[in-house]
Amino acid sequence: MPALLTIFCVATASSCAEEPRIWKSADGKFSVEAEFVDIENNIVRLRRTDNHKTAAVPIKMLSVSDREYIRERLEQGKETAKLTGRRAAWMEGQWGFRFNMPGMKQPEALAEFDVPKMIDQIKVLDTASWVQINITQGANGSFYTAPHPELAKHISPDIVPQRDLFGEMLDALIEQGFKVMVYFATEGPTMGKHPEKALPGVIETWKNYAKSREMTPEQAVAEIIVKEYSLRYGTKISGWWFDHASYGDIKALEKAALAGNPEAALTFNVGGSPELLTCPESDFTAGHPTPMKRHSPSWEGNEVAIKLIEKNNYINGSLGHFFPPMQETWNSGKPAFQTKQAVDWTMRIVQAGGAITWAVALADAKEKQAPLASVQFKQLKAINKAVKNSRKQ
């Protein structure tokens, strides 16, 4: 193998949704305009600008100038990582969005969830770098969106599905060029914050099972649940967003989440505040705004988060990241933002080198069915257009 290519055997780099360029084949007979997505094991992924589809091309089939371009991109990525010292470097100056899939609390909705329908809608958001999807049923850590044989056998078969909805959506999103962030309710089956919402008997059964494994319930959430999913999905998972971190063992969760992908970016929600609270284990700030019971997500007081990022995109060692819902609550309600404000907040954060994830409700929020709510989706498209225009300037 030529010396130039040896660095590509194990390296992975993200394009950070850069400008499209013309790529040419090694023999000069073929060319295509596309964005560089990433490279792994000598396979380059390019997102075509004509149809937004992702193509996988062996590096040896690309021209010498294209190979040199990729080498320079990788070197830039290494330098960025050195400067920040954190795993969230790929999130700098980028944006993403989140939707909440049904878990086993609503088994029929989980069974019927239409992955292709969701993908057909969101694939046009081609400047978004990531999508956050959930393994726990939102903040309810006693129900899941992916199989887990150990939980089914020892805790209850009614809390984990046979269908791997999470895995299906994960693969579909990656195919479209998105990175995937996991939402996980840290409390797990212990349900420390919402015990009344657990399936009857699950909390006590979980505590007894953890004890039989010589673990605390919190250690068991990390070692038995998070580690299993981390190892199963491996490098397909680019990051984790852990909710209610005070109800878990943060150190154990960190170790478990990194088991499948040591480069995954992690954050732990230690409180809702526009001050962007963080902890030493977080690569980026959780970004939970002022709780919606107190103020609308669009409340001017939440603009503090943006001003902090504009002042310094790293806050106490964590990349400044803001995570507001687009509607009145995390998963439902009337739209909370005017489009102009949503675009303005996104662009200010992106241009300051921070990161923002918009939490978006499903169109059928009650039955938890795709696609995304129409008004919010229009706002996401406006954000997408604004980001794209800014990168052309």
Instruction: Specify the pLDDT at position 75.
Output: 66
Residue 192 has pLDDT above 80, yes or no: yes
Residue 359 has pLDDT above 80, yes or no: yes
Instruction: Specify the pLDDT at position 41.
Output: 67
Instruction: Specify the pLDDT at position 88.
Output: 96
Q: Which of 276, 374, 353, 291 is nearest to 325 (CA)?
A: 291
Q: Are 8 and 96 part of one and the same domain?
A: no
Q: Which of 275, 216, 279 is nearest to 246 (CA)?
A: 279
What is the extent of the structural domain holding 54? 3-84
Q: Tell me which of 45, 66, 84 is where a domain ends.
A: 84
Q: Are 67 and 103 part of one and the same domain?
A: no
Tokens describing residue 311:
């002042």
Report d(CA 191, CA 174) in Å as an integer.
31
Q: Are 234 and 147 part of one and the same domain?
A: yes
Whether the CB-CB separation of 268 and 323 falls below 8 Å is answered with: no
Q: Are 75 and 132 part of one and the same domain?
A: no
Could you tell me the CATH number of the domain that includes residue 192?
A: 3.20.20.80
Q: Which of 357, 184, 226 is nearest to 285 (CA)?
A: 357
Q: Are 73 and 102 part of one and the same domain?
A: no
Report d(CA 252, CA 366) in Å as an integer.
34
Tokens describing residue 76:
């830039």
Q: Looking at the 3D structure of the chain, how many domains does it have? A: 2
Q: Are 71 and 128 part of one and the same domain?
A: no
Q: Are 375 and 231 part of one and the same domain?
A: yes
Tokens describing residue 86:
């954190």
Q: Are 64 and 154 part of one and the same domain?
A: no
Q: Tell me which of 31, 62, 84 is where a domain ends.
A: 84
Q: Are 115 and 79 part of one and the same domain?
A: no
Q: Are 98 and 202 part of one and the same domain?
A: yes
Burial class (CB in 10 A: 0-12, 13-18, 19+), 267: buried
Q: Which residue has the tokens 């038995």?
A: 224
Q: What is the pLDDT of residues 212-270, one digit of tens each?
A: 999 999 999 999 999 999 999 999 999 999 999 999 999 999 999 999 999 999 999 99
Q: What is the pLDDT of residues 14-55, one digit of tens each?
A: 433 457 899 999 888 889 998 887 787 678 888 788 877 778
Q: Are 112 and 231 part of one and the same domain?
A: yes
- Predicted TM-score (pTM) of this structure: 0.79
Q: Tell me which of 84, 106, 121 is where a domain ends.
A: 84
SS3 state of residue 287: coil
Rg of the Cα atoms in the chain = 21
Q: Which residues contact 182 (CB under 8 A, 6 or more apart)?
A: 132, 133, 134, 135, 229, 237, 239, 240, 241
Q: Are 211 and 122 part of one and the same domain?
A: yes
Could you tell me the CATH number of the domain that includes residue 75?
A: 2.30.30.700
